A and B are shown apart, each in its own frame.
Chain A
Amino acid sequence: MKFYKEHYDVIIMGAGLAGLSAALQLQARGITDILILEKHNLPGGLATSYVRNGIEIEATLHEMMSIGSKEDRLKVGTFFDEMGIDIDWLKVPEAYRFIEKTKKIDITLHSGFETMSNEIDAQYPGWGDKVYDFMNLCNRVYNSMNILSVTPMSKPEMLKKHPDFVKTVGYSAKQVMETYKFPQDIVDILTPYWIYVGNPMSSLPFTIYAFLMADYFRGGSYVCRNFSHEMSMKLQAKVEENGAQIEFRQEVEKILVRNKKVYGVRTKRGDEIFSDYVISAAYPNKVYTQMIEPLSEVPAGAIKMVNARKLSVCPVSVMMVLDGTPEELGIRDYNVFSGDTMDTDKIWENYHTLGPYGYLTSICLNLANPDCTPEGYTQFSITALPLVDPFLDVKETEYHALKRRLASEMIANYEETTGVNIHDHIVEIEVETPVTVAHYVGAWKGSIYGYSHSLDDHAVARLQMKEEDHFIEGLEFAGAHGISGNGMGPAVTNGRAAAKGVLDSRKEQKEDYRLVSGYMKLADMLNRRKGADK
């Protein structure tokens, strides 16, 4: 029985947002002979949902950035529009409510630079203008980053056109923010999103922080009316409509390499399928230490690279359906960040443990999407984003008890912070950990956020080192481990970048071919002429 063709132009491992976006990008440029192999039985990777007793539950921290309103579309929104993918986006009502319990800070910020700086000004009179200036700096860096990530530029030109970007690129978020001499409360209020690109503010590149702040506060964030699964399914449908073959329940076990060049993959069930290009959603760590066959084809530099890089945070998320409407339960906020401290170095320390976790983010989906549950219920989640390190030693026999302890601590923490009673209203509850992620999507060590953004693993450096990070011809990576980093928006961008890698390489090969065939024609001509001369 033959389930696959012998050969495909491109094989994509993983039907997550990155893999599907890579396929769309390739299709837009005329490459349609594509096979996508997905481990799970549905698309989307982490952008998915599940059903418990008839209620669909969002499986992820799902605020989508880089979409923008219909009038001010941002990068990902524009891409979806161009690809003909029509998603029913709902704008989330507020950026966040932030509660710092020790200093009793309690403030809610909405998107729009002016709006949010006014909201800060209302509590800290006189500082609104400076916050506004700061957000505009973030926005200029954001715009520059979007341009520079696709358009190479000479240094003088860059300095002329993107001075703020150039001047801040070498500094941490903390260092740049310090030049504004904000009172500590305002620094705290502007910090909560840091964990989505985690590394403490002292070592988090300002560029990345600015990107996140500008994107979220300029365009606001969006959720799909029919959960993240809507986005994943619509991407899949379009990719299939464009002619790709997608097969679920197919985990790729080996990537076949000869002379530093990819020639195919082998699935867990044993199918060998050939292609000159493979786009991998599997982490480079896994690819270079387990998957390349033979492993002797893996260059030393690839091993040094994956060993040197540090994984970013992983999720501990308590996902619940509650009995009662948000109003009845007293839940007023879509998104709350809360903690005893906003000192990110201290939070980082706490996130190197197995809890109890102090810094939490909670989401009440109904407040962005009232139809996400049947009437009379609320969909609610609480998330901490620790490092994976403390989970590495967890034993099988301890696992369930650990999950329950973390969940009950997080629920108690939220209840204490907001005065809302959760535990008497739980109808459905699931606890997601890095182990859950490893189980469903197979991500390396249960990671969801790729490699840590730091001053010594800076997105700008990643961009500049693109060529030297590329070790095997025809092998591209698309996922949170890509240059743009983690998050559902960047996953789309990373997928497109992987497609570009394939397209560029094919172009080069075509040029090589043209060159070679040109020489052959020339030689032929000369030979013929020689013959004629005789």
Chain B
Amino acid sequence: MKIESFLKDVGGASRVTAARREKFRKGSPIPEPEDPIRALSDALHPDKIRFIVTDVRDVSPTSKTWRLRSTDGHIPIFQSGQYVCFHLQIGNSVLNRPYSISSAPFESKCDNPFIEVTIRRNRPYFVPDYFFDHVKVGEVLWGSMPFGTFYYEPLRDSKNVVAIAGGSGITPFVSMAREIAAGWLDVNLTIIYGSVHSSDIVCGRELDEIDRKCDKVKVVHVMSDDPDWQGEKGFVNREIIEKYSGEDTTYMFCGPYAMYTFVEKTMKEMGVPAGKFRKDAIAQPDVSLIPGYPSDKKDEVYTIKVMRGIHEDIIQAAASEPVAVAVERAGIALDTHCRGGECGMCRSQLLEGEIFVSPIGDGRRRMDKELGWFHACSAYPMSDLVIKIPIL
């Protein structure tokens, strides 16, 4: 087969080159530096936001809600369940902490936009202490947002959502309830909310008020240690979950690790398909609760050589704490986000030594596992280490 008609034409290369040259000659000489797509992506994910605290209020005897506005007046759009990450300096430590946003997305889109975070301090705790003792009205906080994949996704989730929350794990659902009550989200939400005692329910009053006003939101309190409580008592179990579940339900869970293991088991027993059970990133619990953690090592202290570019720091690290905590304590910035091993923001390179990686929320890529990359928020030193982290 011959390509007959082109046989005699041998000038193609010169012709296309002349055409290109001519096209460039006609190009506009005025620079066009605008990139609206990058601008949109930067608006959706700004690098750092300068927040200012405009209000602090009690939402239970042990918890407070901080209202924050951004100094430039812009708050990126988020979805109920996503979190803000605060960049803090407490003493010599440089650290990041994630908090689910407890206000509704619509409140960050209207005039005078704001977000709120709700933090509980029922025992002394490093970062909550800092918020309770130091973060007052007028204080500046640096943060970035939105992060996380724990939100209602209409492409996947059922219109009927049963949320299961324990303690301060209620915050993503407070956001969701507010969004539904204001008519911005079309979901039927039942919140099964486990607390210890009715005298200390995080955001209890606000949730009960939404429950009264909005027939799409129902709140079921379950008290674990309150003999006089008139409603559901004990721990959130299969019986209670089934009692408040209708047909075709998506379950969403946010709470402590111990409660998660129980709820996850219950979901399996109930035959809930994988796609219908969503969980928020779970903070790593104490090492005594992490399956497989070599407990004989928990009192060891090791040395980590931390490389950033050609710079090296030598720091101390306890085997009972994630590598990220040791790095933060040494005043070295490390961008952690979820702190549950999942998001991979604190992805770091292990050059020498042994680590234990928590199986809870292990979000490492396969090749990362093979080539020694790990997520510092959920990896524990098991020997002296040499690691490399990004220069921030």
The interface of chain A, by Cβ under 8 A from chain B, is: 1-5, 41-42, 49-54, 56, 130, 133-134, 137, 155, 159, 164, 166-171, 176, 179-180, 205, 226-227, 229-230, 233-234, 237, 245, 247-250, 269, 271, 285-286, 288-290, 295, 298, 300-301, 303-309, 323, 377, 388, 391-394, 396-397, 399-400, 404, 407-408, 411, 423, 425-429, 434-436, 438-439, 442, 444-446, 455-458, 460-462, 464-465, 468
Whether A3 touches B44, Cβ cut-off 8 Å, given contacts A308-B26, A434-B37, is: no
Please report the number of residue pairs spanning A and B whose Cβ atoms sit closer than 8 angstroms: 241
Assess whether A435 is in contact with B41, with CB atoms less than 8 Å apart: yes
Q: Select one of B6, B7, B33, B76 contacting A290, CB under 8 A.
A: B33
> Is B23 within 8 A of A464, CB to CB?
no
A229 to B370, CA, bound (A): 12
Q: A304-B29, A307-B28, A392-B37 are in contact. Are A134 and B1 (CB under 8 A)?
A: yes
With A301-B24, A404-B155, A456-B16 already in contact, the answer to whether A167 and B7 are too (CB < 8 A) is yes
- Contact of B310 with A226 in the complex, beta carbons under 8 Å: no
Residues in B with CB closer than 8 Å to A288 are 31
Taking a contact as CB atoms closer than 8 A, the residue among B16, B24, B155, B342 that contacts A205 in the complex is B16
Partner of B44, one of A271, A407, A435: A435
Q: Which residues of A contact B17 (CB under 8 A)?
A: 458, 460-461, 464-465
Q: How far is the CB of B253 from chain A (nearest CB, A)?
A: 12
- Once the chains bind, are A170 and B344 in contact (CB under 8 Å)? no
Give CA–CA (A432, B373) in the complex, Å.
25
A179 partner, pick from B4, B31, B365, beta carbons under 8 A: B4
State A436–B38 Cα separation when bound (angstroms). 9
The answer to whether the Cβ of B40 comes within 8 Å of any Cβ in the partner chain is yes
**Can you give 29 A-B contacts (C-beta < 8 A)?**
A3-B309, A51-B344, A53-B342, A134-B1, A171-B6, A176-B3, A179-B4, A226-B366, A248-B390, A249-B335, A289-B32, A289-B33, A300-B29, A306-B27, A307-B30, A308-B27, A308-B28, A323-B273, A323-B274, A427-B274, A429-B153, A438-B37, A439-B44, A445-B35, A455-B16, A458-B17, A460-B13, A461-B16, A464-B17
Decide if A393 touches B310 in the complex (CB within 8 Å): no
CB distance from B42 to the nearest CB of A (A): 8
- Give Cα distance in the complex from A460 to B368, angstroms: 40
Closest Cβ of chain B: how far from A325's Cβ, in Å?
A: 13
Bound form: Cα–Cα A306–B347 in Å: 36
Q: By the criterion CB–CB under 8 Å, are A41 and B347 in contact?
A: yes
Does chain A have a CB within 8 A of B363? Answer: yes
List of A residues within 8 angstroms of B79 by Cβ: 400
A233 touches B12 (CB 8 A): no
Q: Is B77 an interface residue (CB 8 A)?
A: yes
CB nearest neighbor in A for B345: A41
A284 to chain B, nearest CB (A): 12
Asked if residues B344 and A41 are in contact (CB atoms below 8 Å), the reply is: yes
Q: Across the interface, name the chain A residue whose C-beta is closest to B76.
A: A396
**Is B37's CB under 8 angstroms from A426's CB?**
no
Q: How large is the interface on B (under 10, 10 to 19, 20 to 34, 35 or more residues)?
A: 35 or more
Q: Is B91 an interface residue (CB 8 A)?
A: no
A168 and B12: CB pair below 8 A?
A: yes
Q: Which residues of B contact A286 (CB under 8 A)?
A: 35
- Rounded to whole Å, the gap between the CB of B372 and the closest CB of chain A is 9
Asked if residues B28 and A304 are in contact (CB atoms below 8 Å), the reply is yes
**Which of A269, A396, A442, A464 touches B40 (beta carbons < 8 Å)?**
A396
**Given A248-B390, A397-B109, A439-B44, is A303 in contact with B30 using a C-beta cutoff of 8 Å?**
yes
Are A179 and B5 touching (Cβ within 8 A)?
yes
From A170, A226, A439, A445, contact of B12 by CB (8 A):
A170
Residue B258 is within 8 A (CB to CB) of chain A in the complex: no
Smallest Cβ-Cβ distance to B307: which chain A residue = A3
Instruction: Select from chain B the residue with minimum beta-carbon distance to A376.
Output: B274
Q: Are A435's CB and B155's CB within 8 A?
A: no
**Per-position 1/0 for B304-332, Cβ under 8 A of A:** 00001111000000000000000000000
A397 to B26, CA, bound (A): 37
Q: CA–CA, A391 to B39, complex, Å?
A: 12
Task: Pick from B21, B275, B366: contact of A426, CB below 8 A.
Answer: B275
CB of B391 within 8 A of chain A? Answer: yes
B200 lies within 8 A of chain A by Cβ: no
* Interface residue B154 (Cβ < 8 Å from any Cβ of A): yes
Shortest Cβ distance from B149 into A: residue: A52
List B contacts of A170 (CB < 8 A).
9, 11-13, 15-16
| Residue in A130, A155, A247, A295 whose beta carbon sits within 8 Å of that of B390 in the complex | A247
Whether A464 and B13, one on each chain, are in contact in the complex, defined by CB atoms closer than 8 angstroms, is yes
Q: Which residues of A contact B364 (CB under 8 A)?
A: 51
Inter-chain contact A429/B41, CB cutoff 8 Å:
no
Set of chain B residues within 8 Å of A377, measured between Cβ atoms: 274
The docked-state distance in angstroms from the alpha carbon of A288 to that of B35 is: 13
| Complex contacts, A1 vs chain B, CB 8 Å | 308, 311
Report if A438-B391 is in contact (Cβ < 8 Å); known contacts: A168-B3, A289-B33, A400-B79.
no
Measured between alpha carbons, how far is A446 from B41 in the docked complex, in Å? 9
B155 touches A429 (CB 8 A): yes
Question: B79's closest neighbor in chain A, by CB?
Answer: A400
Contacts of B4 in A (CB 8 A): 179
A299, chain B: closest CB distance, angstroms? 10
Report B's interface with A, CB cutoff 8 A: 1, 3-7, 9-13, 15-17, 19-33, 35-38, 40-41, 43-45, 76-77, 79, 109, 149, 153-156, 273-275, 279, 308-311, 335, 342, 344-345, 347, 362-368, 370-371, 373, 390-392
Q: Of B5, B24, B79, which is in contact with the most chain A CB atoms at under 10 Å from its CB?
A: B24
- Docked-complex contact A179 and B3, CB < 8 angstroms: yes
Q: Nearest 5 A-B pairs (CB), nearest first?
A: A170-B12, A3-B309, A308-B27, A304-B27, A169-B12
- Bound CA span A42–B346, Å: 11
Q: A247-B390, A288-B31 in contact; A399/B3 too (CB < 8 A)?
A: no
Contact indicator B3/A237 (Cβ below 8 Å): no
Q: Is the CB of B3 within 8 A of A56?
A: no
Q: How far is the CB of B279 from chain A (nearest CB, A)?
A: 8
Please indicate the chain A residues that have their CB under 8 angstroms from the CB of B344 in the complex.
41-42, 50-51
Contacts beyond the supplied A170-B9, A426-B155, A435-B44: 13 A-B pairs with Cβ under 8 Å: A4-B310, A41-B335, A49-B365, A51-B363, A170-B12, A229-B368, A295-B31, A397-B109, A427-B274, A435-B40, A455-B19, A456-B20, A464-B13
A308 and B23 contact, CB distance less than 8 A: yes
In the complex, what distance in Å separates the CA atom of A462 from the CA atom of B268?
Answer: 59
A residues less than 8 Å from B310 (CB atoms): 2-5, 245
Q: Is the CB of B37 within 8 A of A445?
A: yes
Q: Let me know if A445 and B6 touch, CB within 8 A.
A: no
Nearest residue, chain A, Cβ from B361: A54
Q: How close is A251's CB to chain B, nearest CB, in angstroms?
A: 10
CB <8 Å contact, B308 and A392 = no
Give CA–CA (A446, B38) in the complex, Å. Answer: 7
Chain A contacts for B20, CB-based, 8 A: 456-458, 461-462, 465
Interface pair A458/B16, CB less than 8 Å apart: yes
Measured CB to CB, the closest approach of chain A to B368, in angstroms, equals 7
CA A426 – CA B154 in complex, angstroms? 11
Provide the bound-state CA to CA distance between A3 and B38, in Å: 28
Residues of chain B within 8 A (CB-CB) of A42 are 344, 347
Question: In the assembled complex, which residues on chain A have CB atoms less than 8 Å from the CB atom of B45?
Answer: 439
Give the residue of A41, A176, A298 whose beta carbon is less than 8 angstroms from that of B6.
A176
- Nearest chain-A residue to B369 (Cβ)? A226
Closest CB in chain B relative to A498 CB, distance in Å: 20
| CB-contact partner of B10 in A54, A166, A388, A434, under 8 A | A166
Residues of B within 8 A of A388 (CB): 37
Contact for B368 among A5, A137, A233, A435, CB less than 8 A = A233
A455 contact set on B, CB distance < 8 A: 16, 19
A303 to B24, CA, bound (A): 9
Contacts of A411 in B (CB 8 A): 155
Cβ-defined partner of A166 (8 Å) among B13, B37, B279: B13
- In contact, A54 and B363 (Cβ under 8 angstroms): yes
Q: Which residues of B contact A130 (CB under 8 A)?
A: 1
Chain B: CB-nearest residue to A445: B37
Chain A residue at smallest Cβ distance from B364: A51
In the complex formed, the residue of B with least CB distance to A225 is B366
Q: Is the CB of B311 within 8 A of A303?
A: no
